[in-house]
Structure 1
Amino acid sequence: MSFGAGWLPELLTAVLASVLAITLHEAAHGYAALALGDDTAKRMGRLSLNPLRHVDRVGTILLPGFLLVTQLLTVGRVEFMFGWAKPVPVDVLNLRNPRQGMMLVAAAGPAMNFGLALLAGLLIHPVSAWVPLLSPDSLALFYRFLLLSILANLVLGLFNLLPIPPLDGGRIVAGLLPAPLALPYMRLERWGILIVLLAVFILPRVVDGFDPVGWALREVVADAFNLVLRLSGNGGGR
């Protein structure tokens, strides 16, 4: 995203797409837990589609805001963003089958994102039918929002499948491992955010040529983006 004349509408469009992706991702965890026997999120008022209920002061506001402002002021564009929402509380002991249930609760978030990405692709068709009714700028903004929604949901869903606790992929792996291995593996959770920051953002900037996670995400997201376009009847290359 460049810091030019049209940066504000593009920024707001990107923010809206990201907020919807994050909010529905967290809500999916809560609703999956409720269906599997745990009503903790409901009792704590976190079973909600209200984005404000999922805001984390550091992960949702301060860190993304700092990254946004510093990049716009230094390089004039946004090259990367990182942040997190307040996790929906889940009491694994309330789940009818704790190990299997925690896997399903964890998988619900990325599954929601992949479903939303496909929905955004399908919505391109009715928006195309509005061509005679909309100005070129409005039409371009609608298309931009849908494409950013596909991208935001794919990035969020795939990133969360990385096998690092406390990401969803880490919880899924823990459910697949035998109990003697799962317990020490889940102890990594206290260091999870630091591991992610180190592997995804710090090392690639201090070690020339080292960016395995970024490379994997870029390659996988590109293929997934084109797959969503094909599945939703919008062509797709590669």
Structure 2
Amino acid sequence: MEQFLAFRLEELPFVVIALVLAFTFHEFAHAYVAYKFGDNTAKDQGRLTLNPIQHLDPIGTLFILIAGFGWARPVPVNRSRFKNPRLAGVLVSVAGPLSNFLIAFIAYGIFFLIIVLTGGAGVPPFFMDLLRMIVYLNVLLFIFNLLPFPPLDGYRIIEDLSSNSVRAKLSQYEQYGILLFLILVITPLDQYTIWPLLQGGINGTSQAFNAIFNTIFSIFL
């Protein structure tokens, strides 16, 4: 069974917890920002909540266990209800990935603090493993969702920042972008395209986190 999974069997409990946390806050962030800008669509459909059941997609969750990345249930957004559709659209789109970044940042900070203060002694190993997985998966989702492919948040950000003429062209070819994205994700091409980007982003973000917390703790400790 393990050969069909993207993670080792002993990692699965940590993966599940980290995914529930990541997906729930990601979708809640989309819904919350949309609500604040005047769109009640997600709220009316029960998506303005931190209840994971409202946000998890069974197939998307299974896919991340098998392939290493997946998706939650997209939050419905009606951009016509926004007072400033372009600005609100960008902020709604970026809210999800940003929530994952913040979760990873906080989890890394807790992990770093534990190591600095105790060296990990006396701390249950499962807790440290859980923190590592929370950091890894949230950074992964942060970077993955900012890729400029439909239907990811990165594509929606580009769409909202584009002029009306460019947006019309993007809409015209969106279905082909989705097809290209699926080909890159589910075929061996991912090892030469998407995964190098993700791995580079994960490594770079982890190094940035480490530098930030090294600086903070060198000042205050």
Q: Indicate whether the TM-score tops 0.5.
A: yes
190-199 vs 24-33, greater mean Cα deviation: 190-199
Q: Shift of residue 125 of structure 1?
A: 4.5
Residue correspondence of structure 1 range 205-220 to structure 2 within 5 A: 211-220=192-201
TM-score for both structures, normalised by structure 1: 0.78
**Residue 206 (structure 2) aligned to one of 225, 230, 235:** 225
Runs of 4+ off more than 6 Å? none
One-letter amino acid matched to 1:95: F
Q: Which residue of 1 aligns with 2:46?
A: 45
Structure 1 contact 162–168 (Cα < 8 Å) conserved? yes
Mapped contact 2:69–2:141 kept (Cα < 8 A): no
2:73 corresponds to = 86
Matched-pair contact (CA < 8 Å) for 2:109–2:213? yes
Which residue pairs with 1:28 in the alignment?
29
User: Are the counterparts in 1 of residues 108 and 135 from structure 2 also a CA contact under 8 Å?
Assistant: yes
User: CA shift at 1:8, angstroms?
Assistant: 4.5
Percent identity of paired positions between Structure 1 and Structure 2: 35
1:15–1:191 CA distance, 2 compared to 1 (3 A): farther
Corresponding residue to 1:164 among 135, 145, 149: 149
- CA-to-partner distance for each residue in 1:13-34, whole Å, 9 max, x for gaps? 1221122111111111001101
CA distance in 2, matches of 1:57, 1:188: 28
1:48 Cα offset (Å): 1.2
1:21-51 CA distance string (max 9 Å, x none): 1111111100110111111111110111111
Counterpart selection for 1:151 from 136, 139, 145: 136
2:20 is aligned to: 19
- The answer to whether the Cα contact below 8 Å between 1:200 and 1:211 also exists between their aligned partners in 2 is no
Please, what is the CA RMSD of the aligned residues? Answer: 2.5
Residue pair 2:26, 2:95 contacting (<8 A) in 1 also: yes
Aligned partner of 2:98 in structure 1 is: 111
Distance 1:38 1:158, change over 3 A: same
Give the secondary structure class of the aligned counterpart of 1:96.
Answer: coil
TM (norm. structure 2) is: 0.84
2:91 alignment partner AA: L
Query: Contact 1:165/1:188 (CA < 8 Å) preserved in 2?
Result: no
Structure 2 distance, partners of 1:101, 1:148, is: 32
Unaligned stretches of 5+ residues in structure 1: 68-79
Q: Is the Cα contact below 8 Å between 1:174 and 1:185 reproduced in 2?
A: yes
Distance in 1 (alpha carbons) for counterparts of 2:186 and 2:192: 8
Whether 2:86 is the aligned partner of 1:99: answer yes
Aligned residues: 209
Distance 1:188 1:115 in 2: 33
Map residues 128-207 of structure 1 onto 2, 5 A cutoff.
Answer: 128=115, 133-134=122-123, 138=124, 140-204=125-189
One-letter code of the match for 1:15? V
1:177-211: CA deviation from partner (whole Å, max 9, x where unpaired): 11101122134444554322212331517xxxx71
Aligned residue type for 2:203: A
